[in-house]
């Protein structure tokens, strides 16, 4: 039996959400899922397979959120399922060194040459938090430079002018962070070389590190201007600061070696996550051995994690990364991306309106603005009410994009040319309504 969709969910989702809100803040375990930016109520997922997600009311969606990036093969790929099943039969957690961890560390160091040593953790937040602590421990300095709209997880030091959910919910600076703490974080506009040079001229001697999303994707997808990433590398080297690449989203997603491979940049530290866990909770951070060796138990910088290197998570991540290599996945994702490019160009031409569409590999974003987007200020010129209408029209038609203008879409190897063609039809209809 069909049901009358509210703005965004069916009766069982609504019932679940009503119950969830009694026990979980906002009814969600992570804010963007609450649909606050787009209105309506979230649907609840029953299952996901390939390029599709089914909600508890039986409706299916072509999914471009991909659990926010990890599902690069698509959902529930058989290679990952079988690897987890095999590992689980021998135990789900040891808290003891295990062979999976060694294999994962070896693979990461092989795929990402700047990573001479790596430590596993359980989220991107832990990875960036640990990079910041390491940078401060290694340099003996306190100041961190980040860029407005960049989101590096909910780390106290980095929840300043943050992107993703903080930006979506209009509170880029979280409550609960001491001013003395936030005061050690300098926020600069992304792609602004003058601001960078001026800041380093003033406080360069205080700067422990720059942390940057290699391609900012938590304010929508914002790409570096030519030479900008090289400038970050040069100015940090000149002033004895470290360069931390936050590749939690882009790592193992855009190339085996992430953005640093594509842009030929060698950061000092790299934060990783999402794809590396095959959908299970995994973060990782790594880089120069002389920096990483400061970590306990060898060095004075403490970092730990009960579930770090969990055998199931390692097995899932290894299976996913090996499958990507086996399928020549990065080349195939770029082919799918090119199909999307031409479909989008065709659709946007018909609207007669101006949008900004950006894509890199399997990551893409459509900004509802006529202004080219090079930084957060540009992104914030987007027409949010129009995006909101677009989002719900797509959802009703069975296509699920991120419930925020300030997020990025993901294509997986499970998306077919037919899925992309269907999506183009849906987008065309949705834009006509927006």
What is the Cα–Cα distance from 96 to 76, expressed in whole angstroms?
27
Considering the complex, state which of residue 65 and residue 118 has its C-beta at the smaller distance from ligand HOZ: 65
Considering the complex, state which of residue 138 and residue 367 has its C-beta at the smaller distance from ligand HOZ: 367
Cβ neighbours of residue 406 closer than 8 Å, sequence gap 6 or more = 37, 149, 163, 164, 167, 168, 218, 219, 220, 379
Say how many C-beta atoms besides its own lie within 10 A of residue 288's C-beta: 18
Considering the complex, state which of residue 164 and residue 303 has its C-beta at the smaller distance from ligand HOZ: 164
Half-sphere CA count of 353, side-chain side, radius 13 A: 16
Q: Kindly state the smallest distance separating residue 32's Cβ from ligand HOZ, in Å.
A: 3
Considering the complex, state which of residue 35 and residue 100 has its C-beta at the smaller distance from ligand HOZ: 35
Considering the complex, state which of residue 165 and residue 257 has its C-beta at the smaller distance from ligand HOZ: 165
Bridge partners of 426? Answer: none
Considering the complex, state which of residue 14 and residue 164 has its C-beta at the smaller distance from ligand HOZ: 164
Q: Kindly state the smallest distance separating residue 397's Cβ from ligand HOZ, in Å.
A: 22
C-alpha separations of 224 from 78, 207, 212 in Å: 36, 22, 11
Q: Kindly state the smallest distance separating residue 72's Cβ from ligand HOZ, in Å.
A: 15
Q: Check 55, 63, 192, 246 and give the catalytic one.
A: 246
Q: Kindly state the smallest distance separating residue 164's Cβ from ligand HOZ, in Å.
A: 4
13-51: b or e for each residue (b if 16 or more CB lie within 10 Å)? Answer: bbebbeebeeeeeebbeebbbbbbbbebbbbbbeebebb
Half-sphere CA count of 28, side-chain side, radius 13 A: 16
Q: Check 59, 146, 274, 389 and give the catalytic one.
A: 274
* Helix axis angle, 417-433 to 329-351, nearest 10°: 30
What residue ranges bind ligand HOZ (CB under 6 A)?
A: 30-33, 68, 164-165, 218, 407
Query: Residue 307: which H helix or E strand, with range?
Result: none
- How many residues in total does the chain contain? 434
Token pair belonging to 309: 């290197």
Q: Kindly state the smallest distance separating residue 124's Cβ from ligand HOZ, in Å.
A: 8
Query: Angle 409-172-366 (CA atoms, 0-180°, nearest 5)?
Result: 25
Q: Kindly state the smallest distance separating residue 217's Cβ from ligand HOZ, in Å.
A: 7
Bridge partners of 270? Answer: 245, 286
Considering the complex, state which of residue 18 and residue 29 has its C-beta at the smaller distance from ligand HOZ: 29
Q: Kindly state the smallest distance separating residue 5's Cβ from ligand HOZ, in Å.
A: 21
Q: Check 64, 151, 190, 400 and give the catalytic one.
A: 151
Cβ neighbours of residue 273 closer than 8 Å, sequence gap 6 or more = 123, 124, 127, 248, 249, 251, 282, 283, 284
User: Has 274 been annotated as catalytic?
Assistant: yes
User: Has 246 been annotated as catalytic?
Assistant: yes
Q: Kindly state the smallest distance separating residue 154's Cβ from ligand HOZ, in Å.
A: 9
User: Has 89 been annotated as catalytic?
Assistant: no
Bridge partners of 61? Answer: 53
CB 24 within 8 A of CB 361: no
Query: Residue 308: which H helix or E strand, with range?
Result: none
Q: Could you check whether the bond before residue 93 is cis, i.e. omega within 30 degrees of 0?
A: no
Considering the complex, state which of residue 165 and residue 309 has its C-beta at the smaller distance from ligand HOZ: 165
The catalytic site residues sit at 151, 246, 274
């Amino acid at each position: 039996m069909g049901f009358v969709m509210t703005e965004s969910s069916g009766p069982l989702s609504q019932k679940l959400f009503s119950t969830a809100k009694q026990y979980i803040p906002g009814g969600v375990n992570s804010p963007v899922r609450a649909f606050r930016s787009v209105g309506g109520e979230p649907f609840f997922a029953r299952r996901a397979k390939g390029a599709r997600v089914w909600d508890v009311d039986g409706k299916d969606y072509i999914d471009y959120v991909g659990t926010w990036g990890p599902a690069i093969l698509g959902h529930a790929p058989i290679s990952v399922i079988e690897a987890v099943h095999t590992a689980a039969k021998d135990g789900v957690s040891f808290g003891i060194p295990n062979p999976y961890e060694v294999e994962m560390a070896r693979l990461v160091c092989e795929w990402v040459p700047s990573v001479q040593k790596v430590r596993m953790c359980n989220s991107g937040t832990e990875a960036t938090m640990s990079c910041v602590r390491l940078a401060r421990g290694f340099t003996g300095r306190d100041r961190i430079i980040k860029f407005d709209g960049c989101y590096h997880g909910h780390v106290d030091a980095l929840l300043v002018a943050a992107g993703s959910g903080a930006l979506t919910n209009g509170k880029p600076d979280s409550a609960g962070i001491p001013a003395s703490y936030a005061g050690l974080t300098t926020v600069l506009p992304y792609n602004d070389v003058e601001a960078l040079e001026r800041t380093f001229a003033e406080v360069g001697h205080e700067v422990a590190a720059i942390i940057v999303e290699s391609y900012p994707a938590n304010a929508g997808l914002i790409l570096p201007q030519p030479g900008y990433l090289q400038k970050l590398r040069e100015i940090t080297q000149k002033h004895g600061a470290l360069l931390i690449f936050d590749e939690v989203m882009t790592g193992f997603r855009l190339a085996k070696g992430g953005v640093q491979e594509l842009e030929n940049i060698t950061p000092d530290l790299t934060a990783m996550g999402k794809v590396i866990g095959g959908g299970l909770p995994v973060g990782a951070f790594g880089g120069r051995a002389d920096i990483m060796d400061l970590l306990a138990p060898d060095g004075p910088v403490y970092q730990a994690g009960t579930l770090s290197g969990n055998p199931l998570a390692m097995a899932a991540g290894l299976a996913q990364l090996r499958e990507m290599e086996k399928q020549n996945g990065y080349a195939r994702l770029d082919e799918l991306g090119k199909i999307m490019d031409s479909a989008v160009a065709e659709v946007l031409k018909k609207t007669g309106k101006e949008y900004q569409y950006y894509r890199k590999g399997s990551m893409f974003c459509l900004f509802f603005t006529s202004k080219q987007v090079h930084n957060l200020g540009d992104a914030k010129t987007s027409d949010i009410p129009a995006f909101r209408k677009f989002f719900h029209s797509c959802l009703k038609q069975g296509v699920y994009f991120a419930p925020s203008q300030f997020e990025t879409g993901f294509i997986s190897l499970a998306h077919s040319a037919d899925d992309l063609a269907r999506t183009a039809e849906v987008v065309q209809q949705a834009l006509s309504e927006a």
